[in-house]
Amino acid sequence: MTTLNGRRRTLLAGGALLAAGLAGALFWRHGTRAGTDFEPPFEDICIVPPTRVSTPHPYDPASGLAMHEARPVPAEARCPVCGMYPARFPRWAAQIIFTDGSAHFFDSPVDLFMFLAEPGRFDASHSAEDAAALYVANFEDGSWLDARTAVFVIEARVRGPMRGPDLPAFASTAAAQAFIAAQGGRALHFTDIDPAVVGSLRDANHGHHTH
């Protein structure tokens, strides 16, 4: 009996060490910014951000891009609203570039509009007035569009990165209407996306989370 108890204690201790190691690895994996070889995990559906307030990505003068020009989404970038990895969703991604050249990246237009509605909730150092440029991905080819001139589709059958209703963006009304003919929904312009629209999309995508 003594031998069995000893073996049981050894197994329990080993299991505890293994669990602690796995927890530490997951914390490191999700809580840090990695290098260029970073590959986001597949289970990244609405990961809660590591902190309540996110730090924007600084402008890199060596990039060759103008300070307020749309830039590629870094593989390690986390959406400040939901914590997902926008680089995994090139036809949905969005970005905001501030007057100082720093930027936040979002996995979809819904989270961009949520950020604009309450910027201080996600970034203590910037306000909506600091936005120099807003970009959304063209749902057709992933190219960047000025969010203020893009045409969005709401209430389509297509689900966004968070597996809920979203706002796929298009370069023209004709492109949006062609999409609507296949997937349903209706077209909206930037100024049509008011607090009521943002609130309904927020509740549909984030209502089951506390962040």
CB 166 within 8 A of CB 110: yes
Residue partners of 114: CB distance under 8 A and separation at least 6: 81, 198, 201, 202, 206
pLDDT in tens, 39-84: 445 555 555 554 567 899 999 999 999 999 999 999 999 999 999 9
pLDDT in tens, 92-126: 999 999 999 999 999 999 999 999 999 999 999 99
Q: Quick one: pLDDT at residue 45?
A: 54
Q: Say what the alpha-carbon torsion angle 110, 111, 112, 118 is, to the nearest 10 degrees.
A: 110
Rg (alpha carbons) of the chain, rounded to whole number: 21
| Beta bridge partners of residue 151, listed in sequence order | 170, 189
Q: Quick one: pLDDT at residue 81?
A: 93
Q: Specify the pTM.
A: 0.76
CA 194 to chain centre: 20
Provide the mean pLDDT of the chain.
Answer: 82
- Phi first, then psi, for residue 131 (nearest 5°) are -70, 120
Nearest to 97 by CA among 142, 140, 148, 47: 148
Cα distances from 47 to residues 1, 27, 203, in angstroms, run 46, 12, 17
Q: Quick one: pLDDT at residue 162?
A: 86
pLDDT in tens, 9-22: 544 444 444 444 44
